[in-house]
Amino acid sequence: MSKIKFIKHILVCFLFFSLVFSCATSKNVKDSGNENNKKTEPVMVYYEGELLNIFFHAVIARPEIAFRGSRRDHYREWFVTADEYKKILNELYLQDYVLVDIKEFYTVTYTNKIKTIKANKLLVPQGKRPLILSVDDLSYYDTNRRNGTVHKLVIDKNGSIAAWTDTPSGGEISYDLDIITITEDFIKKHPDFSIRGAKGIIAPTGFEGVLGYRTQANNSKSDGYKKEIENAVKVANKLKELGWRFASHSYGHLDMPKVTMTAFLNDLDSWDKEVKPILGETDLYVYPYGAALEKQEEKHKVLRDRNYNLFFGVGNGYGYKIGPRSEYIYLTRRNIDGCYFRLFRNSDKKLFDIDKVMDKQNRGIK
Per-residue pLDDT, 19: 43
User: What distance lies between CA 166 and its chain's CA centroid?
Assistant: 24
Q: Is residue 147 part of a domain?
A: yes
Backbone angles phi, psi at 110, to 5 degrees: -125, 130
Per-residue pLDDT, 364: 92
Beta bridge partners of 115: 110
Q: Is residue 203 part of a domain?
A: yes
Cα distance between the two ends of the chain: 95
What tens-digit pLDDT sequence spans the chain (366 residues)?
Answer: 444 444 444 444 444 444 434 444 444 444 444 545 556 889 999 999 999 999 999 999 999 999 999 999 999 999 999 999 999 999 999 999 999 999 999 999 999 989 999 999 999 999 999 999 999 999 999 999 999 999 999 999 999 999 999 999 989 999 999 999 999 999 999 999 999 999 999 999 999 999 999 999 999 999 999 999 999 999 999 999 999 999 999 999 999 999 999 999 999 999 999 999 999 999 999 999 999 999 999 999 999 999 999 999 999 999 999 999 999 999 999 999 999 999 999 999 999 999 999 999 999 998
Per-residue pLDDT, 5: 46
Per-residue pLDDT, 38: 57
Q: Is residue 17 part of a domain?
A: no
Q: Is residue 268 part of a domain?
A: yes
Q: Is residue 24 part of a domain?
A: no
Per-residue pLDDT, 37: 52
Per-residue pLDDT, 250: 98
Residue 292: give the domain boundaries.
52-363
Domain count, the chain: 1
Per-residue pLDDT, 6: 42
Q: Is residue 226 part of a domain?
A: yes
Q: Is residue 3 part of a domain?
A: no
Q: Is residue 44 part of a domain?
A: no
User: At 189, which CATH number?
Assistant: 3.20.20.370
